[in-house]
Amino acid sequence: MLLEDGTYFEGGGAGASGRVVGEVVFTTGMVGYPQALTDPSFRGQILTFTYPLLGNYGVPDPAGRDRWGLPYPFESGSLQVRAAILESLTPPHHFASRLSLPEWAERAHVPLLHSVDTRELTSHLRTRGVLRGVVAVGDPLPPRRELLRELERAPRYEEEDLVRQVSPKAPERTRSGRPDAPLVAVTDCGCKASILRSLLSRGLDVVRLPSSEGIPERFEGQRVVGALVGNGPGDPATLTPVVEGVRDWLKRGKPTLGICLGQQLIAEAKGARTFKLKFGHRGQNKPVVFPDGRAYILSENHGYAVLPRSLRGTGLRPWAYNPDDGTLEGMRDASGRLISLQGHPEGAPGPGEAGFVFDLFAAKLKRRH
């Protein structure tokens, strides 16, 4: 792999052969590679795992679905990363394994680069910040000057329309199975299956909407009582059509929950600003502190954040922060009808102790239903 600053890492190849260019990021999670690799928020990126052993529990049946027909235990129906970088590949030893990690990656046309010192790579990214890179797997390997030319020709992360690639093409409704369930609209920029599952398990019906489509007052004759603006890839400041749709919805004053990219889009819609983090927050061990002193450990996957001082005059107020670097982790409005969280209350992979955020949202919807 060649990084855009000229740093070169050699390793062994597995999965698919070929060359891919993407933004190189790292995750500190110890488990959950099937969920991480299928998370649409990683679209357009090359994912480095800091945990040294990958593949030991294999891959469950890729066709696995839960009772609502959602991918399980995956976050979407396919791998979303452009490539993955690992230190050590281990053979699978698990009763539920149906494929090895290299077999799964090969089927999905995703290269794996293993036997890489991922601690050195992660340290380099923490020092220099996120960098683009090109991964080449195959024989023979191209010369470095050819890899560098490929990097120079490729679009930058923020120049790609990644949300369009992972957003549904048409509205998709899923029923919770409970009679007279409230209907929630999801602005789907690449929403994780676990977020949808968190709504459905609380007795809410869900309609997933294409990211560029506005949120209707009614869908299939039923009133939409609230909305969730979900996670996804890309730079929030460039997603103008999505921001406009969110802005129109927020004017109605109905219950709204933003998660990850959703928090950033809500901030942009209300007139606040976002910025790119040096190397992002990706992992399952991220602390979040709320105003009453409660602290939770969350799973996170984001490279952008909301600028706290830009909330002035927007009607939004800080709700939680990250004690490691002071970044804004949650927002709410004065009425409490709008809440957002930068981390992932559903976990998957990771802790689910912030699931109370879904409970708050569901309670507001059921009172208005």
Give the tens place of pLDDT for each residue, 151-185.
999 999 999 999 999 999 999 999 999 999 999 99
- Contact, 311 vs 319, CB < 8 A? no
Average pLDDT, stretch 219-227? 97
Per residue in 176-211, is it b (16+ CB within 10 Å) or e — as a string? beeeebbbbbbbbbbbbbbbbbbbbbbbbbbbbbbb
pLDDT of 366 reads 87
Q: What share of the chain has pLDDT > 90, as a percent?
A: 97
Is 176 in contact with 70 (CB distance < 8 Å)? no
Residues 220-231 have a mean pLDDT of 97
Separation between Cα atoms, residue 184 and residue 256, nearest integer Å: 9
Length of the chain: 369
Is pTM, for the whole model, over 0.95? yes
Q: What residues does 151 pair with on adjacent strands?
A: none
Alpha carbon 95 to chain centroid, angstroms: 28
CATH 3.30.1280.10 fits 2-157, yes or no: no
Contacting residues for 251 by C-beta, under 8 A, at least 6 apart:
none
Helix, strand or coil, per DSSP, at residue 186: strand
pLDDT for the residue numbered 243: 97
CATH number of 163-368: 3.40.50.880
12: number of Cβ within 10 Å? 13
pLDDT at residue number 240 = 96
365 pLDDT more than 80: yes
Percentage, residues of the chain above pLDDT 70: 100
Q: pLDDT tens across 292-342, in order?
A: 899 999 999 999 999 999 999 999 999 999 999 999 999 999 999 999 999
Give the per-residue pLDDT at 94.
95
Per-position DSSP letters for 190-239, written without gaps between them: S--HHHHHHHHTTT-EEEEEETTSPPPSEETTEEEEEEEE---SS-GGG-
**Residues labelled as active-site residues:** 260, 344, 346
Instruction: Reply yes or no on whether the pLDDT at 368 is more than 80.
Output: no
Q: Note the pLDDT of residue 186.
A: 98
Q: What is the pLDDT of residues 181-211, one digit of tens each?
A: 999 999 999 999 999 999 999 999 999 999 9
* Mean pLDDT along residues 13-24: 97
Query: Quick check: 263 pLDDT over 90?
Result: yes
Indicate if 163-368 has the same CATH topology as 2-157. Answer: no
287-294: list long-range contacts, CB under 8 Å, 24+ apart. 287/322, 287/323, 287/324, 288/320, 288/321, 288/322, 288/329, 288/330, 288/341, 288/342, 288/343, 288/354, 289/320, 289/321, 289/322, 289/323, 289/329, 290/319, 290/320, 290/330, 291/319, 291/320
Is 90 exceeded by the pLDDT of residue 367? Answer: no
Q: Which residue would you say has higher pLDDT here, 139 or 43? A: 43
Please report, for the chain, the start and end positions of each structural domain, with discontinuous segments joined by +: 2-157, 163-368
Give the mean model confidence (pLDDT) for residues 4-29: 97
What mean pLDDT comes out for the span 357-364?
96
Q: What local confidence, expressed as pLDDT, does residue 189 receive?
A: 98
Nearest-angstrom CA–CA distance, 106 and 111: 7
For the segment 69-87, the average pLDDT, to the nearest whole number, is 98
Checking if the pLDDT of 290 tops 80, the result is yes
The SS3 of residue 126 is helix
Q: What is the 3-state secondary structure (H, E, C) of 298-362?
A: EEEEEEEEECHHHHCCCCEEEEEECCCCCCEEEEEECCCCEEEECCECCCCCCCCCCCHHHHHHH
Q: Does position 212 have pLDDT exceeding 90, yes or no?
A: no
Residue 27's H or E segment, with its range, is strand 18-27
Q: Which two tokens stand for residue 61?
A: 């049946």
341, 347, 349, 350 alpha-carbon torsion, rounded to 10°: 100
Q: What pLDDT, on a 0 to 100 scale, did the predictor assign at position 74?
A: 98
